[in-house]
Structure 1
Amino acid sequence: MRTTDLQYEVTDVVIFGAGLSGIGCAAYLHRKLPGKSYQILEMRDDLGGTWDLFRYPGIRSDSDLYTFSYEFKPWKSDKSIAPAEEIKSYIAETADEYDVRERIRFGRKVIACDWSSEEALWTVTTERTGTGERETWRARWIFSATGYYDYDQGYRPEFAQEGSFDGPIIHPQSWPDDLDYTDKRIAVIGSGATAVTLLPALSEKAAHVTQVQRTPTYVLPLPTQDPWLRWLRPFLSADRIHRTLRTKNIMRQSVFWRISRRFPNWMRNFVRKLNVKYLPEDYPIDTHFNPPYDPWDQRLCFVPGADLFKRLEDGSCSIVTGKIARFDESGIAMEDGSHVDADIIVTATGLNLKLMGGAEYAVDGKAVHWPDHLIYKGMMLDNIPNFAFSIGYTNSSWTLKVGLLCEYFCRLLAEMDERGMGICYPERPDRQMKTRPLLDFQAGYVQRSIDILPRQGDTYPWEMTFNYREDAKMMKRGAVIGPELHLEPSPAPFSDAAQ
């Protein structure tokens, strides 16, 4: 273990992660609070986060880019559901437009974060990737934009007799750059967004691609280009088109989700009718596209241009639904006695969660145990000073919620400056509060990690909210300082921040 080699001067905000959320937070600070200093610490060697990490064929958004992009920067591509390279380019453009790139320190893995009430400062310890060199960074606030996925490894269950398979077994999170799957038979295990993305993408070169799923999911076709775009383009500027389509899609997402929750059988039938329309005649929908749960109990999968259905129709892809018995030398043996022939097996079996990037946190020497804390306004935790983190929506575009959190974060910093306050943390109400998991969601990656997450309470602002219009009122225009927030002046004058 190396000792700390370098220590940097104090900044107002240190941001963890240079992905969509981290670059967004930096841009909000630049636009709303240009006098604030900040640094971004990024573990990888380039910006983009998820959109730099995942390299599997066909990777794309599963939300429309008019809501997945930033409110302040129009999405100008014709593609409403966009591939990873376009999203990463969009993030990079934002970083360049707001002079964010020069504030990013790449190759820094955050190891520990320690809060000192005596100094009203966080001390952040990082390790340089490749050299192991330790550095410390001092900041008045932490904004953790690392999301909640484990970037080191995905979820990978063990299958019986894996060692007997003759070919490679690949997880999409670790896709090999040199994998040649031309004219190969590929089995993709899984039923989520990654699996339905991989099937049509792999089929362009593979001999055949088979999806092996234990449980079906809801799959909906979406047009690759928003149909409104063609009508609006002759009359509106790019900014106004972005605002119009963004507003329309926010409303559509909200209505779709509300109908799904209130009238699940109606929505189930609606999805089924769309599937019948796009699938081959007499296709066994009840076997392969009939989930045992209600719509939005888990996230729906969207396929742009109905690409998955087209590949099922032309025979380049197929689906097998059932339980896997074991692997053998030539593929996958199913419990019903059938066999999936494969030269390559792809385990699109999901992701692992890792809160705050796996860094260790302490407040005045006491280690932070995340499940002991309640979330406040979807971004802070009780009794943890000057700390915010970003979690987006699970029922619509991630960035819609993150944008609101960043706006509120900037309003909070400005209000604290006006009041002459340097320390802020939520205090749990002096009453018995019923709590429940932070993410009330049935997705496997959530259920596997419930015990490591903070909790949410029974009333706002101590519960997670999923209504963009209501959240926008509270975060953009509602009171900044509520009775739950404890404020204190800093115990000592701030030192000059590094620019």
Structure 2
Amino acid sequence: MNEYLSTAAIPSHVDVLVVGAGLTGIGMGHHLRKLQPGKTFAIIEARDAIGGTWDLFRYPGIRSDADLYAFGFSFKTWNRDNAIADGHEILDYLQETIDENDLASRIHLGHKVVNADFSTANATWTVTIERTSDRERFDVTCSFLTSAAGYYDGDEGYSPHFEGRENFRGEIIHPQHWPVDLDYAGKRVVIIGSGATAVTVVPVMAETAEHVTMLQRSPSYVLPLPRRDPLPIFLRQVLPDALVYKITRYININKATLLYNASRRFPKQMRALVRKVNVKALPVGYDVDKHFNPDYAPWDQRMCIVTDGDMFEAIADGRASVVTDRIVRFTESGILLESGNELEADVIVTATGLNMVPFGKIPLHVDGKESILPDHLIYKTLMVSDIPNFTFTIGYVNHAWTLKADLVAQWTCRLLAHMDRHGYSTATPTIDDDPSMTRSPFIDMGTGYVNRAMHLFPQQGSRGPWVVAQDYKGDRQMLGTEPIEDSALSFKSAAAPVLAEAR
């Protein structure tokens, strides 16, 4: 699909430079065209394909873990039958968005941003880009920089040390680096992990493998969700697609909010409900408490979704099983466990997680000095203190990623319009030294891949625009309707500095 994207040289200067051509970057492109039609912009992508996550991951069964009526763009209807969509369906949806918004000429694949430096005197970013085909580097300038790079390290997934790994005679695969020619038909497969990737891969591999074992150190919450949502299928018989999408999107976003809030307020009751669902889906006498009853409260970590209960069906049919135990070491023929049992395997899949990195690992400098991100605070969930003319998108942990991406793109366009109206050349979040302001991690969850990385990210504060609340409803007000002017957002014009007062 990507042969239609731009092969032209990147302009030497653009008003807005977008880093990343995944879902976030493509959405940002739409909003810039619609809300800021006079601005020049370019979308830079290090990979040779659009799609970000949806092109990077190629493991069997790759799909969304949120329904596309919430995960889709606010401006483009999702009218396919599958609400939980396969990766290729999402890529097709993104390509349609590119075509419908004439974005192809703005997307430059195979170009990696390696450095960015903001000049206060010139109110301009100088961005160093490396062309991946020949490693040639060159500079592009922009007035405004926005990161649509997400938070996954696209270069390497997380692989903990396993004693004896080198002794295993079979294949060891990490889902982030899935070989296109991997043949596991008729083979014994062990998948290490209990997160979203593991529960996705298990039932698909179980269709042709001799047997698939999901080996977990501790359980996760797992809920079945129908691949097809009956509501929009019914509504399409009497209503146009755009209205069906709007209605279903509203309902499904509120359902997700209700589930999350109920989990936080009534953890015992929600634990019991999830357990009841699991008991019903699994064979009589199955040890649900051992394998599917975590020792943490619902939504202390993300819940895992299995479409149409496919993993439960694979377990019930005997094609898959779950083992809850700890690894002692790899052996020549499998994995030795603390219980003394050994799991024999021909293929081991290390679904052990991902590495998180801020802003595509781009070093951000201001006047030649590198910004040490953990020393900074996050402003209104999308800017960083003391870094001018820069926004970023990192989605919700309790909602669909795209909900935040839409809000960030719209707010960024509002900010650009505000700066144009008042003749401002820079906008910088600033915070006074205040000993009463406490700091905490940007994302506060019990998930391993989050905890391993939060020391790399800017932090959140304890009040005002420095709080990151993971609250879609609150963000809709803060980013969608509240004035751009704010006492914590410092504006400067080319002529003289201006500090905007709160209205």
- Asked if Structure 1 and Structure 2 have the same fold, meaning a TM-score greater than 0.5 normalized by the shorter chain, the answer is yes
Identify the structure with bigger relative contact order (alpha carbons < 8 Å, sequence gap 6+).
1
TM range, normalised to the smaller chain? over 0.9
Describe the SS at the equivalent of 1:333.
strand
Describe the SS at the equivalent of 1:187.
strand
Structure 2 counterpart of 1:497: none
Please tell me whether the aligned partners of residues 116 and 364 of structure 1 are also in contact (alpha carbons under 8 angstroms).
Answer: yes
CA RMSD in angstroms comes to 1.2
| Alpha-carbon offset, residue 156 of structure 1 | 0.1
Q: Distance in 1 between matches of 2:289 and 2:342?
A: 21
Relative distance call for 1:236 and 1:7 in structure 2 (3 A) is: closer
| Counterparts of residues 94-109 of structure 1 (less than 5 Å) | 94-109=97-112
Please tell me whether the aligned partners of residues 10 and 108 of structure 2 are also in contact (alpha carbons under 8 angstroms).
Answer: no
Q: Distance in 1 between matches of 2:233 and 2:323?
A: 39
Larger mean CA deviation between 372-381 and 478-487 belongs to 478-487
Match of 2:457 among 440, 453, 457: 453
Q: Distance in 1 between matches of 2:419 and 2:205?
A: 52
Structure 2 counterpart of 1:121: 124
TM-score (norm 2): 0.95
Please tell me whether the aligned partners of residues 412 and 481 of structure 1 are also in contact (alpha carbons under 8 angstroms).
Answer: no
Match of 2:412 among 409, 412, 426: 409
Structure 2 counterpart of 1:180: 183
Describe the SS at the equivalent of 2:485.
coil
Q: Distance in 2 between matches of 1:379 and 1:101?
A: 26
Relative distance call for 1:247 and 1:202 in structure 2 (3 A) is: same
| Alpha-carbon offset, residue 57 of structure 1 | 0.5
Q: Distance in 1 between matches of 2:432 and 2:103?
A: 38
Structure 1 counterpart of 2:236: 233
Does residue 490 in structure 1 map to residue 486 in structure 2? Answer: no
| Alpha-carbon offset, residue 465 of structure 1 | 2.2
Does residue 86 in structure 1 map to residue 89 in structure 2? Answer: yes
After superposition, give the CA deviation of every residue in 1:261-304 in whole Å (9 maximum; x if it has no partner): 11101000000000011111111101100101111110000111
Match of 2:364 among 355, 358, 361: 361
Please tell me whether the aligned partners of residues 65 and 84 of structure 2 are also in contact (alpha carbons under 8 angstroms).
Answer: yes
| Alpha-carbon offset, residue 470 of structure 1 | 2.0
Instruction: Note the residue ranges of structure 1 that are not aligned, 5 or more in a row.
Output: 1-5, 493-499
Counterpart of 1:172, as a letter, is P
After superposition, give the CA deviation of every residue in 1:371-391 in whole Å (9 maximum; x if it has no partner): 011000100011100000001
Does residue 132 in structure 1 map to residue 131 in structure 2? Answer: no
| Alpha-carbon offset, residue 441 of structure 1 | 1.3
Match of 1:481 among 463, 480, 485: 485
| Alpha-carbon offset, residue 473 of structure 1 | 1.8
Describe the SS at the equivalent of 2:464.
coil
Larger mean CA deviation between 174-183 and 227-236 belongs to 227-236
Q: Distance in 2 between matches of 1:316 and 1:7?
A: 51
| Counterparts of residues 304-453 of structure 1 (less than 5 Å) | 304-432=307-435, 433-453=437-457
| Alpha-carbon offset, residue 89 of structure 1 | 0.9
Q: Distance in 1 between matches of 2:464 and 2:31?
A: 25
Structure 2 counterpart of 1:53: 56
**What count of residue pairs does the alignment treat as equivalent?**
487
After superposition, give the CA deviation of every residue in 1:328-353 in whole Å (9 maximum; x if it has no partner): 11111110011211100000000001
Counterpart of 2:377, as a letter, is L
Structure 2 counterpart of 1:472: 476
| Alpha-carbon offset, residue 31 of structure 1 | 1.1
Describe the SS at the equivalent of 1:58.
coil
TM-score (norm 1): 0.96
Match of 1:224 among 227, 246, 264: 227
Q: Distance in 1 between matches of 2:441 and 2:296?
A: 20
| Alpha-carbon offset, residue 130 of structure 1 | 2.6
Q: Distance in 2 between matches of 1:126 and 1:82?
A: 34
| Counterparts of residues 7-18 of structure 1 (less than 5 Å) | 8-18=11-21
Q: Distance in 2 between matches of 1:369 and 1:325?
A: 38
After superposition, give the CA deviation of every residue in 1:385-404 in whole Å (9 maximum; x if it has no partner): 00000011001111111111
Instruction: Note the residue ranges of structure 2 that are not aligned, 5 or more in a row.
Output: 1-8, 497-503
Structure 2 counterpart of 1:245: 248
Please tell me whether the aligned partners of residues 17 and 43 of structure 2 are also in contact (alpha carbons under 8 angstroms).
Answer: yes
| Alpha-carbon offset, residue 430 of structure 1 | 4.8
Structure 2 counterpart of 1:25: 28
Q: Distance in 2 between matches of 1:286 and 1:298?
A: 18
Please tell me whether the aligned partners of residues 7 and 135 of structure 1 are also in contact (alpha carbons under 8 angstroms).
Answer: no
Describe the SS at the equivalent of 2:127.
strand
Structure 2 counterpart of 1:282: 285
Describe the SS at the equivalent of 1:461.
helix
| Alpha-carbon offset, residue 405 of structure 1 | 1.0
Q: Distance in 2 between matches of 1:479 and 1:294?
A: 37
Q: Distance in 1 between matches of 2:216 and 2:404?
A: 31
Counterpart of 1:487, as a letter, is F
Please tell me whether the aligned partners of residues 144 and 389 of structure 1 are also in contact (alpha carbons under 8 angstroms).
Answer: yes
Q: Distance in 2 between matches of 1:66 and 1:411?
A: 25
Q: Distance in 2 between matches of 1:444 and 1:35?
A: 44
Please tell me whether the aligned partners of residues 26 and 94 of structure 2 are also in contact (alpha carbons under 8 angstroms).
Answer: yes
